[in-house]
Chains A and B, each alone.
Chain A
Amino acid sequence: MIWRRISGFPTWDWTSPFDELERMRRDMDRLSEGLAKGIFREPRAGVFPLMNVTEDKGNYYVRAELPGLKADDLDISVTGDTLSISGERKIPAEDKKAQYHRREREAGKFSRIVSLPAQVDTGKVEARCTDGVLTVVLPRAESAKPKQIAVKTS
Chain B
Amino acid sequence: MADTEGKALKVKEKAEVTTPAEQTRPGLVFTPAADIFETDKEITLLADMPGVKAKDLNIDLNENILTLDGDVKTPEGENEVDVIREYRTGKYYRQFSLSQGIDQSKIDAELKDGVLRLKLPKVEAAMPRKIAVKTS
Contacts and interface: CB of A to CB of B under 8 A. Distances in A.
B35 A100 contact: yes
Chain A interface residue bracket vs B:
35 or more
Interface stretch (B37-45, B59-67, B121-129): B37-45
A132 B11 contact: no
B22 interface: no
Chain B interface residue bracket vs A:
35 or more
A123 interface: no
A37 interface: no
A91 B84 contact: no
B126 to A, nearest CB: 22
B25 interface: no
Contact of A52 (B7, B35, B86): B86
Given A54-B80, A98-B38, A109 B51 contact: no
B11 A50 contact: yes
Contacts of A70: 113
Contacts of A131: 50-53, 111, 113-114
Contacts of B81: 54-56
Interface of A: 39, 42-57, 60-61, 63, 65-70, 88-95, 97-110, 114, 116-117, 129, 131-133, 135
Interface of B: 1-2, 4-13, 33-40, 44, 46, 48-53, 75-77, 79-88, 111-115
